[in-house]
Chain A
Amino acid sequence: MQQRTPIEEQIDLPFVESLRISFQSLKIRFGRSIITTAGITLGIAFLVSVWTNNEIGVALQESGRQSTINTFEETTEQGISTKDIWLIVMSLIVCVVGIANSMLMAVTERFREIGTMKCLGALDGFVVRLFLLESGFQGFSGALIGALIGTLGAVLLGLKDYGLDLFFYFPLLPAQPENGPMQLGVIIVILLGCILGMILAVIGSSFPAWRAAKLPPAEAMRTEV
């Protein structure tokens, strides 16, 4: 037993240990993790489907088939209708709010756990790192699945609208037509969707986790959800 020795400094944990604890937490809380991840998946699926759908539309217009498509839509000279811009912006907002909300809830219900870990000697930084890892993983996997679902949805929709022509002109890669708007291509859209989902998930969880970690443990443990 220690007697009157000066109080030492708490050590940093190896990264592997944080990784192990965060994965264990995800595994045991599997059902809850799935719901949080589903929130991310849905947000990104919506965004990516709208975006990809738009990319497909633009690509097929560029290919000279615009006369048969978008017949009931007002098309601007650049090929992107105001309705499409509106849809993309809306889906982006839904995605941001949805993901931020599901991460925020997931962290808030764990304030007590954060307080308890601090009682046992966890450093603030360790707590934040745990949430960073957990949410980064959830964000990436959720967003990847979402992006793939979204793309699939957009492709099915495209097949309905354009038939098999879709595959001849499929905007897989970025393109810069001479007299058209820059096209990102589906791969870039998927990639951006994944990055966005991951960033939103990480911000949405590590910000409240950081706030909770800064609280004195007594206060964190008092927090009721």
Chain B
Amino acid sequence: MADIVVKTEDVVKEYRMGSNILRALDGINIEIERGEYISLMGPSGSGKSTLFNMIGALDRPTEGQVYIDGQNMSQLSQRQIAAFRCHRVGYIFQSYNLLHVRSAHGNVTLPMIFAGISERDRNERAEKLLDMVGLGDRMYHLPDELSGGQRQRVAIARALANDPSIILADEPTANLDTITGREIIDLIKRLNNEQGVTVISATHDLKMLDVSDRIVDIRDGLVERIRKRDEIDIEVGEVGGEGE
């Protein structure tokens, strides 16, 4: 049997906009296996970021359940949710979301501070991680002193700080130029291959297609279709050529 790491059951999310109710997710059912690289694709407003937030316990569904590692997320206490965000998931955002008052090194150590890791160990690990993402020489720079690609690298190092089993990446390349975006994708893919981290990425960057194991197309809050990578090989060639 497949090792299911994320499972959603009829997940519905509604937002109240004044007197209107906006149904961002309209009953989403997906299963994601451990070690997979999944891309949630869809135009803006399709609900992919909302789904991303549900899977990452960053928001609560209006209806339905999200299971991670077999745990029903709605039954967790506040403390468990905090521990879940701290240990199990690494988040990467479109706008990096680095704390601009902390250096690259300070950003990477923060989740480890929350995890209660000793100062010596966390400094050591932060240095190792920043080295790995190619920022060994800019460790003590503030985010404002780094380029977009470098900031996203810091975010990736930070996401890996507590050795998570899932990386959630929300449009990680949207603010980056093509080449830098490609480098970021390669870095995430490498983590997926080498460390067996499950990667779930909300994106409409077509460059992400050819590294994904499966692509979940989201439209109007519903799963439109799920494609395996080998089903879309030809498509990628065409679109990729156009895009460069």
Which residues of A pack against B, CB within 8 Å?
1-11, 13, 17, 21, 24-25, 28-29, 112-113, 115-124, 126, 216-219, 221
Contact = CB atoms under 8 A, between A and B. Distances in A.
A1 B71 contact: no
Contacts of A121: 82-83, 85-87, 111, 114-115, 162
Contacts of A221: 58, 93, 97
Given A1-B196, A9-B80, A123-B82, A117 B99 contact: yes
Given A8-B80, A10-B79, A121-B83, 8 more contacts: A1-B163, A11-B116, A13-B114, A24-B101, A28-B102, A117-B110, A120-B110, A120-B114
Contacts of B98: 116
Contacts of A115: 97
A160 to B, nearest CB: 45
B30 interface: no
B204 to A, nearest CB: 19
A5 B5 CA distance: 12
B37 interface: no
Contacts of A219: 59
Contact of A10 (B71, B82, B142, B165): B82
A141 B83 CA distance: 35
A24 B59 contact: no
Interface residues of B, number: 42
Contacts of B88: 2, 7
A8 B84 CA distance: 8
* Central interface residue in A118, A119, A221, by most chain B CB within 10 Å: A119
A123 B78 CA distance: 8
Contacts of B80: 7-10
Nearest to B89: A119
* Central interface residue in A1, A10, A113, A216, by most chain B CB within 10 Å: A10
A2 B114 contact: no
B83 A122 contact: no
Interface in B177-206: 195-197
Given A25-B101, A123-B78, A17 B113 contact: yes
B224 interface: no
Given A7-B83, A10-B83, A116 B99 contact: yes
Contacts of B113: 13, 17, 21
B70 interface: yes
A113 B99 contact: yes
B92 to A, nearest CB: 10
Name the 6 nearest CB pairs between A and B, nearest first.
A121-B86, A10-B82, A121-B114, A218-B59, A10-B83, A218-B58
A3 B197 CA distance: 12
11 contacts: A2-B165, A7-B69, A7-B80, A116-B97, A116-B98, A118-B85, A120-B86, A120-B91, A123-B82, A216-B60, A218-B53
Contacts of A5: 69
B91 to A, nearest CB: 5
B111 A28 contact: no
B158 interface: yes
A35 to B, nearest CB: 15
A10 B86 CA distance: 8
A115 B114 CA distance: 14
B140 to A, nearest CB: 12
B76 interface: yes
B19 interface: no
A217 B87 contact: no
Contacts of A112: 97
